[in-house]
Amino acid sequence: MSTDTHKLLLADDDMDDCMFFKEALEELPLATELTTVNDGVELMQFLNASVANLPHLLFLDLNMPLKAGFQCLVEIKENKKLKALPVIIYSTSMDHEVVNTLYEKGAHYYICKPPEFSLLKKVIQEVLTIIMQNDAARPPREKFIIQVQ
């Protein structure tokens, strides 16, 4: 992976979380370009329109109106043109079964939204680093959840 600008896509309906994410990215020493969509339908439309020029990474919130994040993950991974896109689940719950299913459906990593801004910065950095190191390969299940303290 080159040190070009990372094109990141964030799908989250929560305005605050979008603001946190954006500010966190700005404070990180990484070259990033962020696009935000606010619901599942908008996400799929955006992706299908950007097939020739997909983002490097998708941060996907699970609880979105119109179409939930889970459904979007499934659709992306079943779409030949989209399935290469690494999907980072960015959510608040920690249900074991849900997490397992997300892993099975092809998500790359799972991040629980941290309650502190500093932790948020940390976890974003960690994800980007790992992705870059592993060349966007999927991790084993034990490493699926990224937790920071």
| Binding residues for another protein (CB under 8 A) | 14, 16, 20, 63, 92-93, 95-97, 113-118, 120, 142, 149
What is the C-alpha separation between 108 and 121, in angstroms, rounded?
Answer: 19
Least Å distance between CB 1 and another protein?
A: 28
What is the C-alpha separation between 66 and 69, in angstroms, rounded?
Answer: 10
What is the C-alpha separation between 61 and 113, in angstroms, rounded?
Answer: 9
Residue closer to another protein (CB basis): 67 or 77: 67
Task: Write down the residue that tokens 């955006």 correspond to.
Answer: 46
Residue closer to another protein (CB basis): 33 or 95: 95
Residue closer to another protein (CB basis): 6 or 109: 109
Least Å distance between CB 30 and another protein?
A: 19
Residue closer to another protein (CB basis): 1 or 94: 94
Burial class (CB in 10 A: 0-12, 13-18, 19+), 31: exposed
Least Å distance between CB 84 and another protein?
A: 30
What is the C-alpha separation between 93 and 50, in angstroms, rounded?
Answer: 30
Least Å distance between CB 98 and another protein?
A: 10
Quick one: tokens of 94?
């920690």
